[in-house]
Amino acid sequence: MKKRLTVVGSNWVSFLATRAIAITAFSGGLLLARLSPAVEVKTAILTNQVRWQSDYFEAYRMAEQGHKMLLIYFCDNAAKQNVAGQPIPLDPVDSALSIAASRAKLDNFVLVRLPVDASVPVDGTPSRLMDHAAFADLRGGPGLAIIDLAHADESYYTYVVSVCPFTPGKYYHFEPEHVLALLDLPEGTITQRTMVFAVRIHPERPASSEGTANPVLTDEAESHSRYQASIQVQGHHQWEGRFHRIRSRLFGRGTPGMPAEVVAESWPNENLIDSCIDCVDSWRQSPGHWSQVHAQHVGYGYDIQRGANGIWYATGIFSN
């Protein structure tokens, strides 16, 4: 059965250990984990222009104290965990990050490289870091994860806010350029950032996320995705009232605009990243949707939430 798609616009109206690792409860259908460490210091490993830490706890401490994002590279090659300070061969991740370093895109990151079987102590017992729910979307295999330790006043502080698995999914297939896309995502939750990530890695390079990630639009996108998930029905419910509320909120922040919205739903029981890519692909199938997703806007906000039926509900809201 074909997924239902709808789009509206401005013409609608005129037209690991608790404070070591603690697992939280479900939030909008997505299980997250807070990570917070004790300290053990090891020497960093240098690869080209990239400085890799080799100890999770020390890297976490550095990011927390420096108010930076912590990027974890779960590596499937144990040989890469070389003697501290010794050179190791460049791989596609190193190469991409070297490009990012040359463009000063790593200034807000601390990087740590860990084997996929890396363990941390939980109540005195070693526990495999990858087994914790925060990293579930890596599917137990190699990949990248980002923990936000830069935005202390936000609800997603100390949470995993991005993942980039190397294991293929139903729709997702890793490419080295995805690493650069991951580093440029706007601040936000893992659901918000993964939706933006899915838009940006689409082969046609839609421009809707090239403007400003507007906090009002992001908040409204999250709210509507949660509502769709709660009633398990995709649609532009109460759009007329929401249209006026969004306009009022934008004017209140000194950023007037005419809102437009797209919504989509995934197939049941897909993981987060596959669902985001699925929804973007659904928008691509409709000229009306794609005209909004493909166009550049003054501001944008994206989010996706999962219902109890296993379906994810995506929302994009734009200001023109």
CATH assignment at residue 79? 3.40.30
Q: What is the pLDDT of residues 7-44, one digit of tens each?
A: 454 433 222 332 233 333 323 333 333 443 433 334 45
Q: Tell whether the model's pLDDT for residue 135 goes beyond 50.
A: yes
Does 193 reside within a domain? no
Average pLDDT over residues 137-155: 96
Q: Tell whether the model's pLDDT for residue 256 goes beyond 90.
A: no
Q: Binning pLDDT at 50, 70 and 90, where does residue 177 land?
A: very high
| Same-domain check for residues 74 and 153 | yes
Lowest model confidence (mean pLDDT) among 86-90, 185-189, 247-251, 279-283: 86-90
What is the pTM for the complete model shown?
Answer: 0.84
Does 202 reside within a domain? no
Tokens encoding 50? 């990239």
Q: Binning pLDDT at 50, 70 and 90, where does residue 121 land?
A: confident
3-state secondary structure of 30: strand
Lowest model confidence (mean pLDDT) among 86-100, 213-227, 246-260: 86-100
| Same-domain check for residues 226 and 102 | no
Average pLDDT over residues 115-124: 87
Average pLDDT over residues 312-316: 98
Q: Which domain holds residue 143?
A: 37-157+159-188
Q: What is the pLDDT of residues 64-92, one digit of tens each?
A: 999 999 999 999 864 444 444 454 455 88
Number of domains observed in the structure of the chain: 2
| Same-domain check for residues 174 and 287 | no
| Same-domain check for residues 152 and 214 | no
Portion of the chain with pLDDT greater than 70, in percent? 80
| Same-domain check for residues 126 and 227 | no
Lowest model confidence (mean pLDDT) among 4-8, 109-113, 218-222, 281-285: 4-8
Does 123 reside within a domain? yes
Match 């109890």 to its residue by tokens.
Answer: 308
CB atoms inside a 10 Å sphere around CB 98: 16
Lowest model confidence (mean pLDDT) among 13-27, 47-61, 99-113, 232-246: 13-27
CB atoms inside a 10 Å sphere around CB 122: 17
| Same-domain check for residues 166 and 240 | no
- In order, the DSSP letters of 73-130 are EEES-GGGSPSTT------HHHHHHHHHHHTTTTTTEEEEEEETT-EEEETTEEEEGG
- Which contacts qualify for 22-29: CB closer than 8 Å, 24 or more apart? 23/132, 23/133, 23/134, 28/191, 28/225, 28/226, 28/229, 28/305, 28/306, 29/229, 29/305, 29/306, 29/307, 29/308, 29/312
